[in-house]
Structure 1
Amino acid sequence: MGASQSDHHVSKAEKAEKADLVTRIKARVAAADPKKARELGGVFLFNIIKGNSVYSWTMDLNKVQVYEGEPPEDPDTTFTLNEHYFKQLVHGKEDARVIMQAGRCSVTGDIMRAMKLEPYIKLE
């Protein structure tokens, strides 16, 4: 019985944490050297799956901004992964290459550029 109560509590915490993670990534990108961000450039769409719903957010390094939803034009790279692996990735508990090679994350588009995103999405 106690497990179901804690599961319900975790659910609310996870919802808040997901929004918090993107907010923290947004702040990290805003604090980054804009010249370096633009040198890497690109528009990256993240589709985070939880149950039957998908939460999408975009990192646009051409404009050095992060926002909820999809970009107005096709992104250079799209990542699709479940919320658990997204958390593992941003908290540095699993390497991006491991997540992709294990098939836990679908990546379409410019994969070589995507591999250089770690400084912008990894939270410490």
Structure 2
Amino acid sequence: MGASQSDNAHLSKADVVSRIKTRLASADIKKAQEVGGIFLFNIIKGTTVYSWTLDLNKVEVFEGEPEDDPDTTFTLNEHYFKQLVYGKEDARTIMQAGRCSVTGDIMRAMKLEPYIKLN
């Protein structure tokens, strides 16, 4: 298990999003649509920002920003993004510590764990 965790630390943001896309493909579509919403993630590394979108209305994941305004936008650095998706740190802890900026529908955002958590 230790080897796979260290491997995860070296995955690129795009690889992580690809894994989230694969996870979403196996999710219960009706349950995902019940949560609904468009979630924009802005992942910061140095001076660059990598954006990707989780659209639970259409049940899809893609790189870049959505055409419609997102219901919730998350802005956090790459380290905390990986901590979040690999379950090493709880979303509430990251937000309460000020490590993640969240704007929009925070209550709906709390229902994302089954769709973005990879472990």
Same fold (TM over 0.5): yes
Residue type of the alignment partner of 2:70:
P
Percent identity over the alignment? 79
Structure 1 residue 48 displacement after superposition: 0.1
Give the C-alpha shift of residue 25 in structure 1: 0.3
Residues in 2 aligned to 1:31 and 1:20: alpha-carbon distance in whole angstroms: 17
Query: Aligned-pair RMSD on alpha carbons?
Result: 1.4
User: Structure 1 stretches of 5 or more lacking a match?
Assistant: 1-12
* Residue 16 (structure 1) shift: 4.6
TM-score (norm. length: structure 2): 0.90
Task: Kindly name which structure, 1 or 2, has the bigger radius of gyration based on alpha carbons.
Answer: 1
SS of alignment partner, residue 59 of structure 1? strand
TM-score (norm. length: structure 1)? 0.87
Name the CA distance, whole Å, in 2 between partners of 1:67 and 1:41.
Answer: 16
Corresponding residue to 1:76 among 62, 71, 95: 71
Measured after TM superposition, the shift of residue 17 of structure 1 is: 2.6
Q: Quick one: which of 79, 82, 88 aligns to 1:87?
A: 82
Gaps of 5+ in 2: 1-7
User: How many residues are matched?
Assistant: 112
After TM superposition, give the deviation of residue 73 of structure 1 in Å.
Answer: 1.1
Kindly provide the CA deviation profile for residues 98-118 of structure 1, in whole angstroms up to 9, marking residues without a partner as x: 000000000000000000100
Corresponding residue of 1:10: none
Q: Normalized per residue, which structure has more helix?
A: 1
